[in-house]
């Protein structure tokens, strides 16, 4: 593969891509850290098995709906802001726009694991935590920045 094409603006696309991959790895690492935190809490009996406040069915439904909504937000960002046409219309550097929107998607995905952590801490719903964390890791895997995808998007956005 050749070098990443230059984009509008003063930012180096290669450096931007490296930073994007670092942020992606950090977000995935955060989800794994939540898991270690839960494992430590369970092994040391820091909180009761039923959680701090017990069952909260309304909160559970609300957070699961929020998690599903996060899927929609990620899809909307990809469809509206990460297309070649949308990137051409942006005033800032294309590479910076790509990185910014990816970081926003990573954060939205990470929120899903945080919902699971909240359900575990408040209601002791370990299964929900595991499922929501697994979904987060799957989404982050799906969103992982690849050099080929990044180069393709830069080329398409720059019109080459």
Per-residue pLDDT at 11 = 61
Q: Can you tell me the mean pLDDT for 101-121?
A: 96
Q: How far apart are CA 136 and CA 47, in angstroms?
A: 24
Q: Which helix (H) or strand (E) holds 46?
A: none
Q: Write the DSSP symbol of residue 63.
A: H
Name, in order, each residue with C-beta under 8 angstroms of 60's C-beta and a sequence gap of 6 or more: 119, 123, 125, 128
Name, in order, each residue with C-beta under 8 angstroms of 110's C-beta and a sequence gap of 6 or more: 27, 30, 31, 136, 140
Stretch among 43-47, 66-70, 71-75, 151-155 having the lowest mean pLDDT:
43-47
Q: Write the DSSP symbol of residue 150.
A: H
Q: Which residues of 64-92 are buried (b: 16+ CB within 10 A; e: fewer)?
A: beebeebeeebeebeeebbebeebeebee
Q: What is the pTM of this model?
A: 0.83
Return the structure tokens found at 2.
Answer: 């050749």
Q: How far apart are CA 36 and CA 34, in angstroms?
A: 5
The pLDDT-based confidence of 57 (bands split at 50, 70, 90) is: very high
Q: Are the C-beta atoms of residues 38 and 31 closer than 8 Å to each other?
A: no
pLDDT for 34 beyond 80: yes
The pLDDT-based confidence of 7 (bands split at 50, 70, 90) is: very low
Per-residue pLDDT at 2 = 54
Per-residue pLDDT at 3 = 56
pLDDT for 10 beyond 50: no
Q: What is the pLDDT of residues 83-102, one digit of tens each?
A: 888 888 765 688 888 999 99
């Amino acid at each position: 593969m050749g070098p990443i094409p230059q984009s509008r603006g003063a930012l180096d696309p290669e450096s931007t891509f490296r930073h994007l991959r670092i942020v992606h790895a950090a977000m995935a690492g955060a989800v794994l850290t939540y898991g270690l935190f839960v494992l430590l809490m369970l092994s040391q009996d820091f909180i009761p098995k039923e959680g701090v406040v017990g069952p909260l069915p309304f909160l559970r439904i609300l957070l699961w709906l929020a998690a599903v909504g996060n899927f929609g937000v990620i899809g909307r960002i990809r469809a509206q802001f990460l297309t070649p046409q949308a990137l051409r219309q942006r005033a800032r550097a294309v590479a910076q726009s790509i990185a910014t929107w990816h970081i926003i998607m990573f954060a939205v995905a990470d929120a899903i694991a945080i919902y699971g952590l909240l359900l575990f801490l408040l209601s002791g719903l370990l299964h929900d935590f595991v499922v929501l964390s697994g979904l987060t890791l799957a989404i982050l895997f799906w969103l992982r920045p690849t050099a080929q995808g990044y180069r393709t998007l830069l080329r398409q956005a720059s019109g080459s």
